[in-house]
Amino acid sequence: MKAQNALLLALAAAALTLSATPASAGAVSATASVSVTVLAPVTLQATQGLNFGAVTRPGNNGANTITLDPASSSVTLTGTGDGARAAGSVSPAKFSLIGEAGITYSTTQSLSFAQPGLTRVSVSMPVAGNGSLGVIPASGMQELRFGGAFDLDAATPAQAYTGSLAVTVNYN
């Protein structure tokens, strides 16, 4: 009988061990905070086109780089060519960026001409007409100015060149 009681006691202990749940088992939960800031979309509008004016291509074997500076609105010719800038008006491209004050942003831009002939065409980084570049000022409007550059030589076709300057603004 002692052996039978001992066996029953051992079986009961084993059953309790198998059916017991550890103290750490069960459900636990935690809560995290959630936040979101909804921004009004910025708007970007071209207000002035990029105009390099008129230039004379080089007549010698050299080449010239024509550069329009967006800060000073001046055109310069550099290089070994004897090209020249003709009289006439020039202007940087201007865009109005409108959005919430203090919002930071970056830009990407590209410049292209529809007619072949100009080489090493590039657009400058923007220059802010007001406030600090990359941050919409307290007024909620910032003017962005763009210039550019291209090369020409004696083989460049003499013609009117037209193209486009594409600007994209991205929130940071």
* Ranges assigned E (strand) in the chain: 43-48, 55-56, 63-69, 74-79, 84-85, 93-98, 105-113, 119-123, 127-128, 141-146, 148-153, 163-171
Q: What are phi and psi of 13, to 5 degrees?
A: -65, -40
Per-residue pLDDT tens listing for the chain (172 residues) = 454 444 444 444 555 455 445 556 789 999 999 999 887 788 999 999 999 999 999 999 999 999 999 999 999 999 999 999 988 899 999 999 999 999 999 999 999 999 999 999 999 999 999 999 999 999 999 999 999 999 999 999 999 999 999 999 998 8
pTM above 0.85, yes or no: no
Q: What is the C-alpha radius of gyration for the chain, rounded to an integer number of angstroms?
A: 35
Beta bridge partners of 64: 79, 152
In this predicted structure, what is the pLDDT of residue 24? 62
